[in-house]
Amino acid sequence: MKKTLLSFGHGFSARALTKLLPDDWRVIGTTRSDDKAATLMAEGIEPRIWPGANLMPALKSATHLLISAGPSEGGDPVLNEFRDEIAERRDQFEWVGYLSTTGVYGNHNGGWVNENTPLSPSTKRGQMRVDAESAWQSLGLPLHIFRLAGIYGPGRGPFSKVRNGTARRIIKDGQVFSRIHVADIAQTLAASIAKPNPGAIYNLCDNDPAPPQDVIAHAAELLGLPIPLAEDFANADLTLMARSFYAESKKVCNERIKSDLGIKLIYPDYRIGLAALLAIEKVNL
């Protein structure tokens, strides 16, 4: 069969991956809007508006599956519609990738976690991801789970908020986050496709877990703008969603992608990553 990737929820990370696939691959990607479908088509992707489109022909031709679509309270949207069809075709697929989140580990008060750390999510979103991972694992597929830290990349970074004055330096003692540049997500997924290891779970993050206020401060310094004033977390006016991100503090270990897949990070820390983003912006001016 022709190598065919069916990508559910073909967004930021999936689009970065497909740029690394050989030219003779066929890529079918789902999206929710006509505008996004036009963007995908311009990139050589065969778009499908989903929910809505009949995806069975694409599913029948797929050799590889990538699931970026996140779960809701109603469960995983892909499995809700295609569980039986995917399970019946398990021998058809050479590789299945599920993009999850490091939120499945919960709070570790700034301590380290790796892929063997018991899952103990402290948010509803994290629990939904744990449930979705389990549901995909139950199907007997050549499944690879990728637990992603906070994603940044071209068009997704702190610079616009620093420039327009909306960036905030929320200080919570001991708070650290891990993050990952989209280019390093893409190279890791491509390496896994080239070297399948069904059942594998990988953390995707850089080498430098850091307090979020340090990232904002560094972005301001790169731009030559004033560093936003510090705000104490306890007194900060935050939405419930924003506050929930501070419910978990942990450092995520990425050694497995290096040892198993030979990954050498393009952007091993946020300083290198932010400098590269700013350089891209200047080139595009």
Say if residue 174's pLDDT is above 70. yes
Structure confidence at residue 222 as a pLDDT band (50, 70, 90): very high
Structure confidence at residue 241 as a pLDDT band (50, 70, 90): confident
Q: Which 3 state secondary structure label does DSSP give 214?
A: helix
pLDDT at 66: 98
pLDDT at 285: 62
Contact 48, 34 (CB under 8 A): no
pLDDT at 244: 87
Say if residue 145's pLDDT is above 80. yes
pLDDT at 284: 72
Q: Is residue 149 part of a domain?
A: yes
Kindly give, in sequence order, each residue whose CB lies less than 8 Å from that of residue 14, ignoring residues fewer than 6 positions away. 7, 29, 66, 68
Q: Is residue 41 part of a domain?
A: yes
Q: Is residue 187 part of a domain?
A: yes
- The pLDDT tens digits for 46-57 are 999 999 999 999
Q: Is residue 284 part of a domain?
A: no
- Which pTM value belongs to this model? 0.97
Mean pLDDT over 200-204 rounds to 98
Nearest Cα to 3, choosing from 38, 35, 39, 27? 27
pLDDT at 21: 97
Q: Is residue 277 part of a domain?
A: no
CATH number at residue 143: 3.40.50.720
Q: Is residue 167 part of a domain?
A: no
Which residue, chain included where needed, has tokens 């990139």?
43
Say if residue 190's pLDDT is above 80. yes
Quote the percentage of the chain above a pLDDT of 90. Answer: 94
- The pLDDT tens digits for 82-102 are 999 999 999 999 999 999 999
Interatomic CA distance for residues 268 and 179, integer angstroms: 10
Q: Is residue 285 part of a domain?
A: no
**β-bridge mates for residue 201, sequence order:** 145
Q: How many domains does the chain have?
A: 1
Structure confidence at residue 283 as a pLDDT band (50, 70, 90): confident
Domain span holding position 132: 4-153+180-207+253-266
Q: Is residue 22 part of a domain?
A: yes
